[in-house]
Structure formats: structure tokens, C-alpha cells
Chains A and B, each alone.
Chain A
Amino acid sequence: MAYKVVRTKLTFAEKIYLPAVLAGLGITIKHFFRVLTGKKKETMQYPEERWDSHLPEHYRGAPTLVKDEHGKERCVACQLCEFICPPRAITIKPGEIPEDDRWRKVEKFPEEFEIDMIRCIYCGLCEEVCPEQAIFLRKDYAITGLTRAEMVHDKKRLYELGGVMTGLVFKWNEKK
């Protein structure tokens, strides 16, 4: 069906464009003078000044592993993050929890857990897919290293960055 587009009638000032251009220029000049007179500062002096305090709650920094309130590692090596990871940055070697361990009933733990931070794209799918709430993207964004090997975060490093997260899943707390 034919449809007639109704266009707004433009005034002469709008048609010649110039007032709008001048108004924009005015804003630029206003900011220029405010910076010049020291009333406003736009440049952040990194690394002396950092984003850290400005980061929002949902900021996606480096993926890390967390332990629970008992100091037990939450990860059970289900390898779902390894599966979902788009750049295939995660490598897990699953293992069985030994007979005499307090958390024997959990059965499985990651013998090795590596995230290659050169590959990681900070997408957060690993955090989203984790059924045990063991992997979280924390606020660390300055992940650097001098060698490729250094950029592969192993289990120790991941727990260092991750720390403890309490009060999430309680499914292992029930008596068994």
C-alpha cells in the first residue's frame, strides 16, 4: 500500500544549517576555555590515576577462579567453560578427589586449569555457563606479561586473582 511520508516543514534558519553549526562550535569553544582556565580536566593520568574506582559492578575483567566459605575450590572440572569458550582459551585436566579427602563426595576437581590470557576475549561466557558458580570475571584489566608462558594463568594464579566468594551455591553443604 502506498504510504505518504509527511516531512516537517523546515524554517529558513534550519534550511541554511549555519545556526546549528555555530551552536556546536560554541560548545567546543566553551569546553576549550574551561580546560584552559583549569576548571575542568578530561585526561586521566594513567597509571597514576586508574579506572578502578569508576568501574561498574558488571565490569568484565580477567576471568578468575573462586573458593567457597570452607576454602574449598568450587570448580568440579565439568569443562563446560572449556566447551563454551569462543577463542578456546581454557584448558582443564580433570582429576578425581582422593578417598581420604574431606570433600570426597564432590568426586571431581580440576588437576590443571589454565586460561590463556592472550586468547581470552573477556566475553564472560565462562562465568555465565558455570553450573557451580566457580568462575567469575573480576575487575582486573591490566593483564600483562613479558613472555607467552606468563600470560597463561594457571590454577594458582587464577585463585590468587579470584579469592573467596561466599553464599552462592550450597549444594555440597548437605550431609552425605
Chain B
Amino acid sequence: MSEPAPLLNVQIDGVWHQFPKGTRVIEACARAGKFVPRYCYHPKLSSPGNCRMCLIEMGMPKMGPDRKPELGSDGKPVINWIPRPQISCAQDIAEGMGVKTDSPLVQECRHGVMEFLLINHPLDCPICDQAGECELQEFSVQYGNGGSRFREEKVKKPKHVVLGPRVTLDDERCILCSRCIRFMKEIAKDDVLGFASRGSHTYLTAHPGRVLDSNYSLNTVDICPVGALTSTDFRFKMRVWFLKETKSICTSCATGCNTIVGSRQNVIYRQTPRENDDVNSAWMCDYGRLNFHFVNSKDRLNEPQIRSGSTLENVNWNTAFGRAVEELKRYQPDEIAVIGSGRMTNEELWLTKKLIDGLKVTHYDIVPRTGEADDLLLNTDRNPNTNGAKLLGVSSDEPGVKLRRIIDGVSSGQIKAVIALHEDLTQAGLSAPSLEQLGALIVVGILPNETTKRATILLPGVSFAEKRGTMINAKGRLQRLNRAIQSPGNAHEDWEILRDLVQQLTGENGVYLIEDVFKQMAENVPQFEGLSISKVGDLGVRLLGVAEAAPA
């Protein structure tokens, strides 16, 4: 650990505060409870100082002939105010500095800047997707003028510009803050955006022959303070003020980016990153962000089903569980295999382990899932909870090793019953005909696939947005999923399905809340000791290994 930075005295609106050296003036003001409006400044990016919204009055201590600050009657330095306003975003604090964030001069400056910004900005808030979370709207109300004095024709710029496969640009709404340009250059390392033309005709565009196709392109939409950059996926789908925001995590890879799930009336409309400096900074990849549409699918499995002849018929949960137990009891432990998933939560994996132990099964594993990683967030491991599966003993240290033996066992006919949890076995290496040979195939899933078609018992589970639970990411951080929407039809949460199965098989007393499941884990797994789901909190806790520094 490096030495903590020394504290400097700064006077903000007449009150003296202390902040570490190296703090930006704009940040110091925010921490002192004096928010300074800004457009181009973003805490995770460099400060070009081009929007001029964060103008403040600044001063330095008045120096005596001895080059020592002159002290006033209160024993504090007297401040010499600079007659012109300064930008607070590109300036670090200094010892004895004075800042006025709300003086008449500052107010007048903000009025002026707002008026200039709105000169060519279209007044089509009813259409614009940013309305409701637009900083131009907010600051216009807070710091701007009531009306416009501009009577001339507004400058026309390109609209509906397809910048890339996922981003649509409206140049008229752009206020030229350059946040997106800096994000692509500094964070995504793909310097594809830039300004063209001059003066009031300046417009944002991709470099000739290039498209904004980075896997991080949608972050530019998040940081755009106005409605210029819009997500093609979310554009014109729903007004943001209707969205219920649920803090959750992304389950598309082992990084476990913190997210906010925006839903309305049980439909998910978007996923946006949530700041967590230990995991994902303020960003997330487009792949993970858009990987939620399957939740809204019309094909979702709604009812428990059991096989009768060549078809599956709807039954109630009790019948399905009864039949499952009946089928499983027909086989010896070494004729049964349990295939779990790295996409399940710790609570579900814990109950899966109980199921494995209850059946005395030796054939069990999770299905490994890998993809190409990048330098920023995307992890090679596309299972969000491989570490959880390893810790709770559903997978060995190398996921997939036992799976190969299971595949051989199923093909040779030695394994006669398989319990598949949230995995399509045909994707995991088992052939469809070999699945048909099985005496029992108990499947928990959310969408129909080649495995569910061949199930003898099909139990509808829920997706990541419909359940609570915890997961351990690649860096060993325990994080929490929260329920954003309700599960469809008669589907049950997976931990309830597993609990009921365990209960029916072993007669063990049931648990009634997911908190109880976590409590059991906390009592039996040393790593979880002293924790509870609520203690995990919104930002998670470090559980295993050493956390590496988060990217930028």
C-alpha cells in the first residue's frame, strides 16, 4: 500500500474542508455536498474541460511579503478571488484554495452556458429516449432560463445515424461533450469516434470506413448526458420513468458485472452497469448487457410436465415430484448422474450437493462453458458461478472432467438416469439418441431445447432475473442477485424445486426461506461463516483469494 495522500484545506462556500491531495475541485465540491453541474466531466475519464458547465469562482490564499498566507480574524487564510470564473473539472485542489459554487457570477455563467447549449438543441423531449434521465433537462430546470431568446433557424444535423450494430446516433441532440470519444479511446481502446466540421456545425461521427462495433459500444450510450447516443435495442421501447430498477449482477460470464435491471410489468427492457470499483468500474460489455431477451421469451416453460408415451403432459408439482422420486428409486446410485450448472446460485448448488449426497451419487459435474476473453471485462469462463460450484463440491477443481465420464456412461448404458439442471445436455456433448435411451431424464429448465423434448420429467425453473441468490465471481467475490420480475406461469424458483426434491427423497425437514439455505451454508462451509444474504450487500464481499485491481 502506498502512503495515503496528505490532506489539504479547501474552503468551499465559506466552510473549510479537508481533502486528500490530488482530488479534483469538482469532486471536492460534490463531497462537501455542493454539487457542481457537469456534462463533459466523467470521474472515470480524462477532463477536457470543453462543456464549461462546471464554472465556479476560485481563489488562492493571499500571500504576505514573507510569502506566508495572511490570516484573517478567524485565524484562516484570507482568499484572493480570481476575477474570472474557472472550470472545476480539470483542476486539482491546492492548500488554502477557496471555491464559490453558488455566487451570482457562477449562477450567471450557468445561465449563459445553458442558453448556448440549448440554442441548437431540438425541443423534442416527448420523443427523445433520454427524457427522464437527461442531464440537459435536469440542469436546464435547475440552473437554466425559463425560455429561449433564440429566434433564428436551428442548425440541422444528421439524424438516425447508425454508428454501429448496437448504437444509433442523433447528431442534433449531441452537445459535443466528447465523453463517448474519450470512453472509446481511453477505456475501450478503440479510437473510432470523433468530431467533424467546425463551429456550430460540428458533429459526432465514426471515422470514415469504421463502425462503432466494439463489444463495449453501449457504454457510450450510458455516459451520453443527452439523447444523442441511443441503444438500438432499447430505443423507443419504454420511457425510463416507468422502469423499476433492481440491483443485480450480470450472469453472462465469470466477471459478474454489477447491473441494474430495468423492468416494467414483468418485462425486462434493459440492463445497465452499476458502479462497483472492485468488479466492473462503471462499465459492462454489450454481450452481457443484451443477454436478457430470452427471459421475455414467449416459449418459456410454465408448467411441470411428465412423459406419457411420446408426449409430455402438464401435471401439478406434487405429481411431478412423486413421479421423480419413483423414477429415481428404481436405480442404483451408480446408475444416476447429476449434471448441474455454473449458472446456478450458491444456494441452488448447495441444495444440489444435498441431492447428490442424498442419492449417494458419484457421477456429478457442471458443464464448463468458455469463450474468448478480452482485456477489459469479459472472462474466458462464461459460467458466472464456477467458483461457487467448486467451493460447494458440485464440481471438481477442473469442471468437465467428470462430465466426460458421465457422457461415456450414458453412451455405454451404464448410467440410466440423469438429472439435468439448467443445461442442454445435447450442447454438453451427449447425443440426442443416447438421451432417449435413458430410463429417467429429470430436467429443470426455463426454455424448450433438445434435452427438454426428451425429458421424462420436466420442471420449470426461473431465470437470473426472477430469483434471489448469491454467486462467486472469477476473483472470488461473493455477489447478490435480486429478483426483478415474477416467474412465469407455474414455474418455481430453482432452490424450491431442489429443496422439494431433496425433501421427498430423504425426508429431511425442509427450509422455508432462501435465507435459511444460506444459513445452512454459513454453518457448514467455513468460507461463508458469519455471512448472510443481506450482509452480502449491493457491492458484494471478498470471499476467496486476493482481489485484483479493477480495470480503470
Contact = CB atoms under 8 A, between A and B. Distances in A.
Contacts of A156: none
Given A83-B242, A176-B156, A94 B237 contact: yes
A166 to B, nearest CB: 20
A75 to B, nearest CB: 9
Contacts of A82: 242
Given A131-B125, A132-B126, A171-B123, A78 B239 contact: yes
A106 B122 CA distance: 12
A138 interface: no
Nearest to A174: B153
A95 interface: yes
A83 B242 CA distance: 8
Contacts of A69: none
B159 interface: yes
Contacts of B236: 77, 94-96, 107-108
B235 interface: yes
Q: Is the interface of B mostly helix, strand, loop or mixed?
A: loop
A105 B239 contact: no
B127 A83 contact: no
Contacts of A107: 124, 127, 159-160, 236
Contacts of B131: 78
B156 A83 contact: no
B127 A79 contact: no
A48 to B, nearest CB: 44
Interface string A89-126: 00000111001000011111000000000000000000
Contact of B126 (A80, A99, A104): A80
Contacts of A79: 238-239, 242
Contact of B159 (A76, A80, A95, A105): A105
A76 B124 CA distance: 10
Interface string B125-162: 11100010000000000000000000000001001100
Interface string B160-172: 1000000000000
Interface residues of B, number: 16
A76 B123 contact: no
A107 B241 CA distance: 20
Interface residues of A, number: 20
A95 B124 CA distance: 16
B239 A106 contact: no
Interface in B153-195: 156, 159-160
Contact of A83 (B124, B159, B237, B241): B241
Contacts of A83: 239, 241-242
A106 B238 CA distance: 17
Contacts of B160: 99, 104, 107
B552 to A, nearest CB: 35
Given A76-B126, A76-B127, A79-B238, 17 more contacts: A78-B125, A78-B126, A78-B127, A78-B131, A78-B239, A82-B242, A94-B238, A95-B236, A105-B159, A106-B127, A107-B159, A107-B160, A108-B127, A108-B236, A131-B125, A131-B126, A176-B156
19 contacts: A76-B127, A77-B236, A78-B126, A78-B239, A79-B239, A80-B126, A82-B242, A83-B242, A94-B236, A94-B237, A95-B236, A104-B160, A107-B159, A108-B127, A108-B236, A131-B125, A171-B123, A171-B124, A176-B156
Interface of B: 123-127, 131, 156, 159-160, 235-239, 241-242
Interface of A: 76-80, 82-83, 94-96, 99, 104-108, 131-132, 171, 176
6 tightest Cβ-Cβ pairs between the two chains A and B: A78-B126, A131-B126, A79-B239, A108-B127, A96-B236, A76-B127
